[in-house]
Structure 1
Amino acid sequence: MGTLSAFNFLTLNGFYKGADGDISWHRHGGEESSFASDKMESRTSILIFGRTTYDQMASWWPSPMALESMPEVAKGMNESSKIVFSTTLESVDWENTRLIKGDLIEEIKKLKADPNVQMTILGSGSIVAQLADAGLIDHFGIMIDPVAIGEGTPLFTGIKSKLDLNLVDTKTFDSGVVLLNYVPMSITK
């Protein structure tokens, strides 16, 4: 069976994005950038996006500004295999990206049937909620920034059932950012 991970960063008050999709509050500093670069160098996962996150990522990572400010991460993001789930997009133009318009749950089940497939959802809160409800996410990486914002969207907006998680690992960055790694309780039983 393949694996599916979700990775998001959150504010202290649980938002993964602020008003109008703002993520400028996330600390992309030295140590966090090095962590992201290391993850990109070892990346074998297929990156999974919903339409909104795809639009943000596809407009940023191929840009000259991204290539200059975070070259290793930009290179990894651009070269990685990517899937965007959308019923409204007609086509995608970010390199190594394919568009799937089919049923999210069924398509992920098909992908996970291959034991060699590793997938990582970046952002994409609606997709995270749907796949968490379906019990298809094997790992949650949540990077908590030491910041609170006035309004935003909570990560698990829309889940229909209780999600019990078991903390398996933590990492604290010098900036005060904390990475929490969880697996569903059903996996650890």
Structure 2
Amino acid sequence: MSKVNVFNFITLNGFYKGPAEDISWHIHGSEGSELAIEGLGSGATILFGRVTYTMMASYWPTSEALRDNPGVAEGMNSAEKIVFSRTLKKPLWNNTKVMSGNLVAEVKKLKQDSDKDMVILGSGSITAQLAEYGLIDEYQFMVDPVALGDGTPIFKGISHELDLKLKKTQAFRNGAVLLTYQAVKKV
């Protein structure tokens, strides 16, 4: 059985995006790139919602991405990707499978049928939906040293308490902190 992990950037007050989809405050420099390359080297399948997938697909395959961040670009472009969308009919990016069925049922099946781990990058809406059903095993949050007056909370819409156990912390020179939590499964 495979695991589903999350990696997302958030503000000090828990937003993964600001008003009008703003993510300009996600700036992590070389340390963030090294962390991304390490994560992409795990061989996990990347899970996306349509909005994040479209944004990533418009950047990572470009010559600009290959020039500015070749290691991350190579990893993103070669990774196996799944995008969950009811509107996207065909992939916009190589190594992508589009799934339009019920998100929760599809992820349960993927976890059951595969030994290959999966990671959600960004895609706060599917993070919240899968957290609601206890389908996420580990959360990694890069907490940026910024607070926004408004935005979209990472766990928007969950209806119950989410218990997490802190596994690891890592501080970065720019003031960001990576927090790694394991989901506590209730019996």
Smaller-chain TM-score range? over 0.9
Task: Write the distance in 1 (CA, Å) between the matches of 2:50 and 2:132.
Answer: 20
Task: Write the distance in 2 (CA, Å) between the matches of 1:23 and 1:127.
Answer: 17
Q: Which deviations, in whole Å up to 9, do the C-alpha atoms of 1:71-95 show, x marking residues without a partner?
A: 0001100100000000111211200
C-alpha displacement of 1:43: 2.5
Q: Which deviations, in whole Å up to 9, do the C-alpha atoms of 1:8-39 show, x marking residues without a partner?
A: 01011211011121111012312111221222
Structure 1 residues not aligned, in runs of 5+: none
Q: Secondary structure at the match of 2:26?
A: coil
C-alpha displacement of 1:103: 0.7
C-alpha displacement of 1:118: 0.4
Task: Write the distance in 1 (CA, Å) between the matches of 2:175 and 2:3.
Answer: 29
Range with bigger deviation, 146-155 or 163-172? 146-155
Query: How does 1:46-57 map onto structure 2 within 5 Å?
Result: 46-57=45-56
Q: Secondary structure at the match of 1:186?
A: coil
Match of 1:88, as an amino acid?
T
Q: Which deviations, in whole Å up to 9, do the C-alpha atoms of 1:132-180 show, x marking residues without a partner?
A: 0111000000000111222211100011111111101111111111000
Task: Write the distance in 1 (CA, Å) between the matches of 2:104 and 2:117.
Answer: 16
Task: Write the distance in 2 (CA, Å) between the matches of 1:127 and 1:58.
Answer: 18
RMSD: 1.3
Q: State TM-score, norm by structure 2.
A: 0.96
Do 1:111 and 1:117's aligned partners in 2 also have CA atoms closer than 8 Å?
Answer: no
Structure 2 residues not aligned, in runs of 5+: none
Do 2:3 and 2:117's aligned partners in 1 also have CA atoms closer than 8 Å?
Answer: yes
Q: Does 1:92 align with 2:91?
A: yes
Match of 1:165, as an amino acid?
L
Percent of residue pairs bearing the same amino acid type: 52
**Equivalent residue for 2:173?**
174
**Equivalent residue for 2:20?**
20
Query: How does 1:121-140 map onto structure 2 within 5 Å?
Result: 121-140=120-139
Query: How does 1:146-165 map onto structure 2 within 5 Å?
Result: 146-165=145-164
**Equivalent residue for 1:8?**
8
Aligned length: 187
Query: How does 1:70-81 map onto structure 2 within 5 Å?
Result: 70-81=69-80
**Equivalent residue for 2:66?**
67
Match of 1:102, as an amino acid?
G
Q: Which deviations, in whole Å up to 9, do the C-alpha atoms of 1:30-58 show, x marking residues without a partner?
A: 21112212222x23100000010011110
Match of 1:145, as an amino acid?
D
